[in-house]
Amino acid sequence: MATIGVVGLGVMGLGIAQVYAQAGHQVWATDAWPEAREAAAQRLRQGMEPRVASGKMAASEMEAILSRIQIGALEALAPCDLIIEAIAEKLDLKQSLFAELETISTATLATNTSSLSVTKIAAGLRDPARVLGLHFFNPAPVMRLVELIALPGTDAARITQARSWTEVAGKTVIACADRPGFIVNRCARPYYGEALALMEEGHSPGEIDAAMVAAGYRLGPFSLMDLVGADINLAATEGLAQAMGNHPRYHVFPALRAQVASGQLGRKTGRGFLHPNPLPAAPPDTAAIALRIEAVLANEAASLLAEGGTTEQGIDTALQLGLNFPRGPFASARRHGISEVLAELRRLQAAAPAPLKARYAASPGLLALQ
């Protein structure tokens, strides 16, 4: 067992601390705010008590987990083997924290960032070979996926150790390159984007979601946006579009901006694209809707695959675990047939307005799958 450090005691940081403690690791955790440190133990207990009450966790297990998590100052993390930061998504804050950690510990330094460049976070450190990314998904104790982002110069032994300790904690670790959005946040964009395109063309959110549920998806794209929040989805979409040079594949559709401007953000505001309305029956063109969305998903996934750093199986598994997809984009493409997917992209490209035609251009990676 390793000694794991966690910096940041918000929902994600507490969840990560629980993940490793539950696996038997000793955990030291801290936060810059004294109030967060003082409340951490009680918040952890409150988070696990419902599982105890429902019989999903023994009370003795909860007490054992809590006993393995110690809260202290940053200096208390000095003996840790691996330190994971889960602080605010601000590059300067993460850089400053890692610079300080580098002086007090020899641990592998991992960032839980979901949107920032791991390379930039490591910039300026004396030994950037100590840095990697471990992107957990929320809620960390429940979601099985962790994206592991190793830089070209990251020490191989540290990568192996971080993977091993995290897999021992019950997670499926998928390697990916330090690219905007990593795997899930990048490859998920077409799921929402193409649904928004369909909406702007006259389909209702209910019809689109019903079609995707009929195709095997647990939640349709609009239900997912309502769950997370349209504002959060917009921020992620805008961030990725900027990082990818505003390529039309990452187009921010006006329908999403309009939804956010309306204040109807989803479950958290009581009304969203679809919430609280029930799903209607699947529309007659269900198969066409599913093919369209799955074609653009496959195109994006193939584009990422061609950039290196991950595998076809890794991408499929990440989308299944990270978004509860019934199958990954490559599996979906082969289910339809690559030739059918390419034909659908050609149809979409021909029908698209000039600014969006490049959105549907088949990526070299997808063409290579023929």
Judged on CB neighbours under 10 Å (0-12, 13-18, 19+), 152 is: exposed
Q: Cβ distance 189 to 237 under 8 Å?
A: yes
Q: Cβ distance 136 to 121 under 8 Å?
A: no
Give the 3-state DSSP-derived string for 98-136, with helices as H, strands as E and coil as C. HHHHHHHCCCEEEECCCCCCHHHHHCCCCCHHHEEEEEE
Tell me the backbone φ, ψ of residue 90, rounded to 5 degrees: -130, 120
CA dihedral 320, 304, 302, 223 (to 10 degrees): 40
Cβ of 175: how many Cβ atoms within 10 Å?
16
Q: How far is CA 215 from the centre of its chain?
A: 23
- The residues annotated as belonging to the active site are 114, 135, 147, 185
Residues 6 or more apart whose CB falls under 8 angstroms from that of 173 comprise 146, 147, 148, 163, 166, 167
Could you tell me which residues are beta bridge partners of residue 110? 84, 132
Judged on CB neighbours under 10 Å (0-12, 13-18, 19+), 308 is: exposed
One-letter amino acid for residue 215 of the chain? A
Residue with tokens 């063409």: 367
Give the 3-state DSSP-derived string for 248-261, with helices as H, strands as E and coil as C. HHHCCCHHHHHHHH
Two tokens at 304?
């990422």
DSSP element (H, E) containing 155: none
